[in-house]
């Protein structure tokens, strides 16, 4: 069984995936995590999906808070991706210290500036899936789109710029 897991991990690492930071405001606290599982689901209505480890604290919060944001990172934002991917990380406000950001008008979540795009969404469906929870959400606001910037991706276990 573990060899299947290892091969599965290696196989899926061959697919390039955009790197995003998902953030949510929970009362006075701001939380966030780096993801490579943000996917477009539908154009009408505009829906996205993100998968998070079911046992994570962010999953627990998103089960209580329907509105959240996703900032799709650009090349040059590797440090932000690494900060939000680190285990035992502090709150999102500390992780964004020194990085341009704002609070989204729809979600009240922190939005990273300078990426390729940022969206604010509202969860419409939650689906348990193995060791993950899938959050399907309707896009309520597009904070910005910057198609002139190169997106930041993860491929073969490493962060990479798109050349």
State phi, psi for 14 to the nearest 5 degrees.
-80, -10
d(CA 76, CA 116): 11
d(CA 11, CA 9): 6
Name, in order, each residue with C-beta under 8 angstroms of 59's C-beta and a sequence gap of 6 or more: 52, 53, 133
- Is residue 15 scored above 80 in pLDDT? no
pTM above 0.95, yes or no: no
- Is residue 1 scored above 60 in pLDDT? no
Nearest to 100 by CA among 67, 141, 58, 146: 146
Instruction: Quickly state the pLDDT bin for 149 (edges 50, 70, 90).
Output: very high
Residue with tokens 């490493």: 158
Mean of pLDDT values over 119-124:
98
The angle at the Cα of 143, spanning 117 to 89, to the nearest 5 degrees, equals 70
């Amino acid at each position: 069984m573990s060899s299947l897991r290892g091969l599965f991990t290696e196989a899926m690492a061959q697919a390039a995936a955009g790197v995003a930071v998902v953030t949510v405001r929970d009362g006075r606290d701001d939380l966030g995590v780096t993801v490579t599982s943000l996917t477009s689901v539908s154009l009408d209505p505009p829906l996205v999906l993100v998968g998070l480890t079911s046992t994570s604290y962010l999953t627990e919060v998103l089960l209580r808070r329907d509105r959240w944001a996703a900032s799709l990172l650009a090349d040059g934002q590797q440090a932000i991706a690494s900060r939000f991917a680190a285990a035992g990380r502090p709150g999102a406000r500390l992780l964004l210290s020194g990085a341009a950001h704002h609070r989204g008008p729809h979600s009240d979540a922190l939005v990273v500036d300078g990426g390729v795009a940022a969206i604010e969404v509202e969860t419409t469906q939650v689906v348990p899936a193995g060791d993950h929870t899938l959050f399907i959400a309707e896009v309520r606001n597009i904070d910005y789109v910057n198609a002139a910037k190169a997106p930041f991706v993860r491929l073969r276990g490493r962060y990479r710029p798109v050349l």
